[in-house]
Amino acid sequence: MSFDLDFVKPAPPDGAALAAARAKWNAVAKPIGSLGELEAMVEKIAGLTGDADVDLSKRAVVVLCADNGVVARGVSQSGPDVTTAVASNIARNVSSVCMMASASRLDAYAVDMGMLDPPDDERVIDRSMGRGTADITTGPAMSREIALAAVRTGIDLVSEFKEQGYRILATGEMGIGNTTTSSAMAAAFLGMSPTEVTGRGAGLSDEGLARKVEAVERALEVNAPDSGDPLGVLASLGGFDIAGLAGMFIGGAVHRVPIVIDGFISALAAYTAARLCPGCECAMLASHVSAEPAARMLLEALGLHAPIQAGLRLGEGTGAVLLLPMLDAALALYNGTTFDETGIEAYEVHPR
């Protein structure tokens, strides 16, 4: 089934820059490959940007905010007013992710992708697709046209942030009910049952989890998504936040900006992006494995490995933010003392 993303054709990674980054790692006075995934991430960034001199000095976490009609089914502990409140707190630089971002030198931005009641604050970036999505248990969340527009919006956001000088973007989301929409999409894409992919989100009781599973089952029954039609899955079961995040991952590949995956919802959006635009995985960096059951499945489906496994489930992009200090430490070593400078004989390089 076709959709108009023909203009999106990510170039392959720069092989010369990737090789130069690997050679630079191999010259550092330490055992070859001893920083594991962190070395691979630095090489990946070099290949993406075409520059072995990796610079992540200007960074941001971009939190896409939207509301979901499925909240009417009792799938969450709170309502859309919390989406509004958190977006406002991000704009005022007082939310959880802002505290953590400040410690790691990231700027934090809230983007309205479709809140029911967006805060009256010009610091919230307005990219609204509407006042929340429809209830996925009664029909599609949105039209295919709106879903595609939201994806394009995410692509454009990356371009805008790159023009402002940002070198890396961490993704975040805020939208009460979005673990339900993500669970429904994960079930459709992965061919898993709702019980296998649906978790407790922000801390549902057993009764709440049962309602959530039932909502996912109903959404799949009503919409009958075709896993071979990624835009259709997104439009019928997703949310404006997921669509925008998918666009950001595609935009990272198009505009050569590394994009950090946060938790379950962000990973689901990254998987959606890969289905919409094969090859855009070149821009994706995994940060952590969320406590939600489908998170690991999605990262494995993308062929990505997350270095942080701490049972995180806070959201807002907090897990993605935590990757940056690890990359900073890795880059300090990457740009550090070489074997030649220490007088130590270099380790022998073996194929990976």
Tokens of 261: 């995956």
Say which of 207, 217, 316, 348 is annotated catalytic.
316
> Is residue 60 a contact partner of residue 161, using CB atoms and an 8 Å limit?
yes
Tokens of 229: 């039609």
Q: Is 316 a catalytic residue?
A: yes
> Which pairs from 230-234 meet CB under 8 Å and 24+ separation?
230/189, 230/272, 230/275, 230/276, 231/1, 231/3, 231/144, 231/147, 231/148, 231/276, 232/1, 232/144, 233/185, 233/188, 233/189, 233/272, 234/147, 234/151, 234/185, 234/272, 234/276
The kind and range of the H/E element at 110 are strand 106-114
Catalytic amino acids? 316
